[in-house]
Chains A and B, each alone.
Chain A
Amino acid sequence: MSLSESPTIEVKDLKTYFFTKGGIARAVDGVSFSVGRGKVLGLVGESGSGKTVTGFSILGLVDEPGRIVGGEILYRGENLVSASPDRMRELRGVNISMIFQDPMMTLNPVLRIDTQMIEALQAHESISKDDARQRARDVLGQVGIASPDERLRSYPHQFSGGMRQRVAIAIALLNKPDLIVADEPTTALDVTIQGQILYEVQKLCSQTGTALIWITHDLSVVAGLADDICVMYAGRIVEQGSVNSVLDKPMHPYTDGLISSVPSRNKRGVPLAQIPGMAPSLLKLPKGCSFGPRCAHFSNACDSIPDISNYENGRQIRCHNPLGAGTTLRVTD
Chain B
Amino acid sequence: MALNNKKEPILTINNVSKRFIKSLDLAGKIAQRFGADIREEVVHAVDRVSLNIQDGEVVGLVGESGCGKSTLGRVVAGVHEPSDGNVLFRGKAIEGLTGKDAQEAALKIQMIFQDPMSSLNPRLRVQDIIGEAPVVHGVVDSGNITDYVEEIMLRVGLDPSYARRYPHQFSGGQRQRIGIARALAVQPDFLVCDESVAALDVSIQAQVLNLFMRLRQELNLTYLFISHDLGVVEHLSDRVVIMYLGRVVEVAPTETLFADPNHPYTQALLAEVPRLETRQRKFAPVKGEIPSPIDPPTGCHFHPRCPKAFAKCHQETPALKEIESNRFSACHLND
> Is A265 interfacial (CB-CB < 8 Å)?
yes
Inter-chain contact A223/B279, CB cutoff 8 Å:
yes
Q: How many residues of A contact B (CB 8 A)?
A: 62
- Among B206, B255, B280, the residue within 8 A (CB) of A261 is B206
> Is B165 interfacial (CB-CB < 8 Å)?
no
Inter-chain contact B28/A275, CB cutoff 8 Å:
no
Complex Cα–Cα for A73 and B143 (A): 62
> Is B201 interfacial (CB-CB < 8 Å)?
yes
> In the complex, what's the smallest C-beta–C-beta distance from B166 to chain A, in angstroms?
17
Q: Which residue of B lies closest to A199 (CB)?
A: B283
When distances are taken between beta carbons in the complex, the residues of chain A under 8 Å from B30 are 109-110
When distances are taken between beta carbons in the complex, the residues of chain A under 8 Å from B204 are 46, 278
Return the CB mask of B42-82 against A: 1 if under 8 Å, else 0: 00000000000000000000011110000000000000000
When distances are taken between beta carbons in the complex, the residues of chain A under 8 Å from B209 are 263, 272
When distances are taken between beta carbons in the complex, the residues of chain B under 8 Å from A47 are 172, 201
> Is A202 interfacial (CB-CB < 8 Å)?
yes
Return the CB mask of B268-306 against A: 1 if under 8 Å, else 0: 110011111111111111100111110000000000100
> Is A279 interfacial (CB-CB < 8 Å)?
yes
Complex Cα–Cα for A161 and B204 (A): 25
Inter-chain contact B234/A223, CB cutoff 8 Å:
no
Inter-chain contact A266/B235, CB cutoff 8 Å:
yes
Complex Cα–Cα for A265 and B276 (A): 8
Known A266-B235, A269-B213: A202·B282 in contact at CB below 8 Å: yes
Interface size range of chain B in the complex? 35 or more
> In the complex, what's the smallest C-beta–C-beta distance from A257 to chain B, in angstroms?
6
Known A157-B25, A191-B230, A224-B283: A258·B269 in contact at CB below 8 Å: no
Q: Which of B73-114 contact A (CB under 8 A)?
A: none
- Among A46, A259, A266, the residue within 8 A (CB) of B201 is A46
> Is B3 interfacial (CB-CB < 8 Å)?
no
Q: Which residue of B lies closest to A186 (CB)?
A: B274
> In the complex, what's the smallest C-beta–C-beta distance from A225 to chain B, in angstroms?
7
Inter-chain contact A144/B286, CB cutoff 8 Å:
yes
Complex Cα–Cα for A91 and B289 (A): 34
Inter-chain contact B292/A196, CB cutoff 8 Å:
no
When distances are taken between beta carbons in the complex, the residues of chain A under 8 Å from B276 are 219-220, 223, 247, 259, 262, 264-265
Inter-chain contact A264/B210, CB cutoff 8 Å:
no
- Among B36, B203, B281, the residue within 8 A (CB) of A155 is B36
When distances are taken between beta carbons in the complex, the residues of chain B under 8 Å from A272 are 206, 209-210, 235
Inter-chain contact A220/B28, CB cutoff 8 Å:
no
Inter-chain contact B275/A195, CB cutoff 8 Å:
no
Complex Cα–Cα for A279 and B173 (A): 11
> Is A188 interfacial (CB-CB < 8 Å)?
yes
> In the complex, what's the smallest C-beta–C-beta distance from B225 to chain A, in angstroms?
12
Complex Cα–Cα for A71 and B175 (A): 37
> Is A282 interfacial (CB-CB < 8 Å)?
no
- Among A199, A263, A265, the residue within 8 A (CB) of B284 is A199
> Is A194 interfacial (CB-CB < 8 Å)?
yes
Q: Which of A160-202 contact B (CB under 8 A)?
A: 160-163, 188-196, 198-200, 202
Known A156-B27, A160-B65, A264-B276: A193·B290 in contact at CB below 8 Å: yes
When distances are taken between beta carbons in the complex, the residues of chain A under 8 Å from B66 are 160-162
Inter-chain contact B275/A264, CB cutoff 8 Å:
yes
> Is B142 interfacial (CB-CB < 8 Å)?
no
Inter-chain contact B210/A190, CB cutoff 8 Å:
no
- Among A109, A190, A221, A259, the residue within 8 A (CB) of B65 is A190
When distances are taken between beta carbons in the complex, the residues of chain A under 8 Å from B291 are 146
> Is A332 interfacial (CB-CB < 8 Å)?
no
Complex Cα–Cα for A161 and B291 (A): 14
Q: Which of B240-274 contact A (CB under 8 A)?
A: 254-255, 268-269, 272-274
When distances are taken between beta carbons in the complex, the residues of chain A under 8 Å from B31 are 109-110, 155, 157
Inter-chain contact B290/A243, CB cutoff 8 Å:
no
> In the complex, what's the smallest C-beta–C-beta distance from A99 to chain B, in angstroms?
16
Q: Which residue of B lies closest to A294 (CB)?
A: B203
Known A199-B283, A272-B210: A191·B24 in contact at CB below 8 Å: no
> Is B171 interfacial (CB-CB < 8 Å)?
yes
**Can you name 6 A-B residue pairings with CB atoms under 8 Å?**
A110-B34, A225-B283, A227-B280, A261-B203, A261-B206, A271-B214
The 3 A-B residue pairs whose C-beta atoms are closest, nearest first, are A190-B64, A146-B289, A157-B27
